[in-house]
Amino acid sequence: MAKSGVLGYPRIGENREWKKALEDHWAGKLDEQELDLQLTGIRLQHLRKIKESGADFIPVGDFSYYDHVLDTAVMFGIVPKRFASYQGGAVSRAIYYGMARGTKDATACEMTKWFNTNYHYIVPELEGAEPQLTENKPLLAYREAKAELGIEGRPVLLGPLTFLKLSKGYAEQGLDAWLDRLLPLYAQIVQELEREGVQWVQLDEPILVTKTDEADVQRLHKICAALTAAAPGLKLLLQTYFESAEAYSALIELPVHGIGLDFVHGLEGNLAAVREYGFPADKVLGAGVIDGRGIWKAALLDKKALLDELSAFVQPEQLIAQTSCSLLHVPVSLQKETGLAPELHAALAFADEKLAELALLTRALGGDGETDAELAAYDEAVQALNRSASRSRQDIRTAAAAIAAQEPQRNKPFAERNAIQRAKWQLPLFPTTTIGSFPQSAEVRKARQLWRRGEWNAEQYNGFIREQIDRWVQIQEEIGIDVLVHGEFERTDMVEFFGEKLAGFVFTKNGWVQSYGSRCVKPPIIYGDVAFEGPMTVEETRYAQSLTQRPVKGMLTGPITIMNWSFVREDISREQIAYQLAYALRQEVEALEAAGIGMIQVDEPAVREGLPLKASKQANYLEWAVRAFRLATCTVRDETQIHTHMCYCEFHDMIDSIDAMDADVISIETSRSHGELIGSFEVNTYGKGIGLGVYDIHSPRVPELNEMTGMIDRALAALAPELFWINPDCGLKTRGYQETVASLQRMVEAAHLAREKYKQVLV
Ligand code: GLN
Ligand code: ZN
C-alpha cells in the first residue's frame, strides 16, 4: 500500500486568524502569551485536519510566527548586529519581529521572493553572526503534535545548503566555512530528534532545482554524511520542489533514505531523469504529484498512471505520493466559496481539498482498478469547464492573435520621445513622484465596506473617493511633489481591482494566501478568456487631473503582474493569457490618453517572479513578458510618457529585459536591498528615465534626510542625472498618514538638496 505525504500546510487559518493575531500583537493588543495561545490553537487545528485526511506523513515545524527562513536564522541565533540588544541565546519576539519589520533604531532585514512564488522570505544576514542553536524548533513542534494529537509528525527542516545560498553577508568562498559552522548545529538538531523517537525528517533543499555544480554535490555529501552520522536511526528525506532536480544522478547517490521530487512543476525533467538513471532500490521516492501551487483539481487518472510508471522503478512500499511542495501557496479551503458558478467550483481544489485528493489517489494506487471509475468521475469536473463557452471567446482569440502578430513598438525611439516629452512637461531636474497609492486609512476601508454591503450607494462612495483625491492632491501640492497620483483609494488591491472590471476573472470570498509576514493576498482566478469591457481607471484619474496644473500619472497594473498574481487556467499557455491581458490593458491605456492623461504608469512588480527557475527557460519567458508589456503600451503618442514600476525582487540580472520594455521612466525598489541594485547600474548602464527608491516603505519608520541623500548620491554615481527621478520604493497604501507626509516632505527636501548639489555638475 503506497503511502501519502504532505510537505507543509498554510499558516493563516481558515479565516486569517493568524494574520489578525500577529497584527494585534504588533499593535500591543495581544501580549506574547495570548499570541502563543492563539497561534498554538491555529497550528493544532491544521494538524488535526491533515491527520483526519489520512495522510501518512504529516509535516510539523513548518508553521511560523512570520516566515520559515527567518525562523531558521533565529534558531541559529543569526541576528544582525544592528539589533544591538541581542546578546546571544534565545531570540526575543521583539527582535524576531524587529528583523522582519524594522524598529525605530534598526532597519528591517531584506525581504525577497521565495524562488518563483509570490511568497517572500526574510533574507538572513550572516555577517558577523556567531551561530548557535538557540532552540530546537522542529523538536518542539514534533513533541507538541505528539502530545496534543498523537501525531507521529515528520519534522520539516530548511536544509543548510538552501539556507546559506539564500542568505547574504558571506563571500562565495565563505560558503564552505559557513557550512562547517552550521553543520554541527544541524547535527545536534537531528540527534535530539532521533533521541525523541522521530522516524523521518523532511530536509528541504529546494535550491537543488537551480544550478547545482560539482562543489554543491560535494557539499551535499558532506551534509548528508554529517546528519546520518549524527543520527543513524533517523531517516532523511531530501526534499526538492518547484522544478526538476539538477544533478539527479548525483542526488540519488547521496547517503539519505529518501529523495523528494516535484512531478508537477518539474515533471518533464524529473521523469526523464528517472527514466534515464532509474531510482536506487534502497531509497524511498517522495513523488510530488498533487500541485501545491495551483488551485485546480488534479487529473487523478493521469496522476495514477504517472505513479504506476514510477512504481516500476521503486518498490511499492518505497513510493510516497506527496504534494509537490508545501500547500502554503494555495488557499485553505473551498468551504466558504458559495458564490462561485457550480461548473467552476467543481473544478477547484484548495489545500483541504488537496488533502482529500491525495487520500483518494493513494487509495486508488495499487488497487486493481476498482477505483478508476471514481477517479474518472473526479476528473470530469475540469473537463466540463474546459468545454464551457467562457473558455473560448472567439472574438478575443482573434483580436489578441492579431495584435500579437505585429511588432509592438513605440512610434519613435526613446531619445526622440524623451526630447519631445522634456519640452512638453518642463519638469525640474530630479522630478519627484510617488508610486501610486496613498494610505488606505481605516476610513477608506470603512467606506468601501459600506458600499460593498449596500449601505452606501455608488454616488456616496464615489463622492467619498473624490474627497480623498481632493485631499491628497492638495497634500502632494503642498509637499511640492512634481508628478502627482490620484492615490488609488478606490482599489483594495492592484490586481483585484482590474480583475473585477475585466471579463474572464472570478473572485473567491476567502481564497487568501500568505504573501509576506501577515500580509495575505486573495489572487483572482483567470478561468476564461480575458476581455476589456469598458474604462477602468479613467474617471478617478481624470478627476485628479482636473484639480491640478501638475501632471497626474494614470496608474495601471501590467499584464504580467496581473497574470503572475492570479491563479490561472491551465488549458492554455501563460503566454497566451499574457497577450489577452495586454490587449485589454492597451485599450485602457488608450482611453486614459484620450481623456487627457499624459503620463501613464503600468506597474510590473511581478515580472521577475514569473522567471522560470531553470536558466534554459528564462530567455523565452522574458521575451514574451517584455512583449506583453510593449503590446499594452506601444500605441500612445510620442509625448505621452509611459512609466513602469518594479519591486520586491532583485533585478540586477534582468536589466536588459527592463530596458527592452522601453518604458520612458521606471521606478525600482532599491533601499531594502541596501543599494545593491545600484551596483549593477555601474556595470550595465541604463539610458532611460529611472527612479531608484530612496526610502523603504515597508516600515513605519521616517527615514533621515541623510539616508535619502546618501541613496541619491550613490545612484548618481552610476546613472545620468538628467534621467534621474526621486521617489519612494513602492506604493504607500500600507502606511499611516503622518509617517507618509513626514517621509515625503523629507524626500522633497532631499530632492532640493540634490538639485543644488548637482546643478553645477550639469552646466
Ligand atoms: N501603484 C501601486 C501602488 O502604489 C504599485 C504597488 C506595487 O508595486 N506593489 O500601490
Ligand atoms: Zn512596488
pTM passes above 0.75: yes
Q: Which of 120, 96, 84 is nearest to 35 (CA)?
A: 96
Angle at which helix 574-594 crosses helix 538-546, to 10 degrees, equals 30
Angle at 601 between CA 596 and CA 604, to 5 degrees: 155
Cβ of 485 less than 6 Å from ligand 1: no
Q: Residue 369: its pLDDT value, please? A: 76
Q: Do 739 and 700 contact (CB within 8 A), yes or no?
A: yes
φ, ψ (nearest 5 deg) of residue 296: -90, 150
C-beta of 647 in contact with ligand 1 (< 6 A): yes
Give residue 455's pLDDT.
Answer: 97
Ligand 1 atom nearest residue 669's Cα: 8
* Best of 113, 440, 488, 562 for a ligand 1 pocket test (most atoms within 8 Å of beta carbon): 488
Q: Is the CB of 697 under 6 A from ligand 1?
A: no
Cα–Cα distance for residue pair 244/614, rounded to 1 Å? 9
- Closest ligand to residue 437's CA: 1
Q: What is the number of the ligand 1 atom nearest to the C-alpha of 555?
A: 1
| pLDDT for residue 389 | 87
For residue 495 and ligand 1, the question of a CB distance below 6 A is answered with: no
Q: What are the grid coordinates assigned to 578, written together? A: 499574457
Distance CA 669, CA 78 (A): 25
Using the mean position of ligand 1's atoms as its centre, give its distance from the Cα of residue 492 in Å.
11
Are 552 and 522 a contacting pair, CB within 8 Å? Answer: no
Contact 326, 268 (CB under 8 A): no
- For residue 731 and ligand 1, the question of a CB distance below 6 A is answered with yes
The DSSP symbol for 322 reads: E
How do residues 720-757 score in pLDDT, each as one tens digit?
A: 999 999 999 999 999 999 999 999 999 999 999 999 99
Q: What is the DSSP string of 563-602?
A: HHTSEE-SSS-HHHHHHHHHHHHHHHHHHHHHTT--EEEE
Q: Quote the pLDDT of residue 557.
A: 98
Q: What is the per-residue burial (b if ≥16 Cβ within 10 Å, else e) of 517-539?
A: bbebbbbbbbbbbbbbeebbbbe
Ligand 1 atom 1 nearest Cα? 436
Cα(646) to ligand 2 centroid in Å equals 6
Pocket lining: 600 vs ligand 1, CB cutoff 6 Å? no
Question: Given this model, what pLDDT does residue 674 score?
Answer: 59
| DSSP secondary structure of 674-733 | TTHHHHHHHHS---SEEEE--S-SSSSPPPPHHHHHHHHHHHHHHS-GGGEEB--SS--T
Angle at 323 (CA atoms; ends 249, 51), nearest 5 degrees: 130
- pLDDT, tens digit, for every residue of 330-359? 999 999 999 999 999 999 999 999 999 999
Is beta strand 111-113 parallel, antiparallel or unpaired with respect to 120-122?
antiparallel
User: What distance in Å separates the CA atoms of residue 694 and residue 730, rounded to the nearest whole number?
Assistant: 10
Ligand 2 centroid–CA 697 distance in Å is 9
Which residues are within 8 A (CB) of 714 and not within 5 positions of it... i.e. 6 or more apart?
675, 678
Which of 111, 113, 120, 437 has most ligand 1 atoms within 8 Å of its beta carbon, as the pocket-test mutant?
A: 437
Strand locations in 471-615 (E): 503-506, 513-516, 519-521, 525-531, 553-557, 567-568, 599-603
Which parts of the chain sit beneath pLDDT 70? 1, 672-675, 762-763
Choice from 645, 696, 729 to test ligand 1 binding pocket (greatest atom count within 8 A of CB): 645
Please report the pLDDT score of residue 402 as a whole number.
87
Tell me which ligand sits closest to the C-alpha of residue 732.
Answer: 1
Instruction: Decide whether any atom of ligand 1 lies within 6 Å of the 228 Cβ.
Output: no
- Which parts are annotated binding residues? 16-19, 113, 118, 435-437, 488, 519-520, 565, 603, 609, 645, 647, 669, 730
Q: The C-alpha cell of 164 is what? A: 546559506
Spacing, Cα 602 to ligand 1 middle (Å): 10
What single letter denotes the amino acid at residue 337?
E
CA diameter of the chain: 84
Give the CATH fold of the 3-81+125-389 domain: TIM Barrel (3.20.20)
- Say yes or no: do domains 3-81+125-389 and 400-439+480-762 share a fold: yes
What does the alpha-carbon distance between residue 138 and residue 631 come to, in Å, rounded to a whole number?
Answer: 49
730 lines ligand 1 (CB under 6 A): yes
Cβ within 8 Å of residue 490, ≥6 positions away: 465, 497, 540
For a mutational test of ligand 1's pocket, the pick from 521, 603, 733, 735, i.e. the residue with the most ligand atoms closer than 8 A to its C-beta, is 603
Return the ∠ at Cα 548 (arms to 542 and 549), rounded to 5°.
Answer: 110
Domain ranges of the chain: 3-81+125-389, 400-439+480-762
Q: Strand pairing of 599-603 and 553-557?
A: parallel
* Residue that has been written with the C-alpha cell 517522495 in this structure: 286
Ligand 1 centroid, distance to 573 Cα (angstroms)? 26
Half-sphere exposure in the Cβ direction for 517 (13 Å, CA): 21
The verdict on whether 652 is a catalytic residue reads no
> Residues at the annotated binding site for 5-methyltetrahydropteroyltri-L-glutamate?
16-19, 113, 118, 519-520, 565, 609
According to CATH, the topology of domain 400-439+480-762 is TIM Barrel (3.20.20)
Give yes or no for residue 747 CB within 6 A of ligand 1.
Answer: no
Parallel, antiparallel or unpaired: strands 513-516 and 519-521: antiparallel
The reply to whether ligand 1 has any atom less than 6 angstroms from the CB of 733 is: yes
The Cβ of residue 311 has, within 10 Å, a number of other Cβ atoms equal to: 17
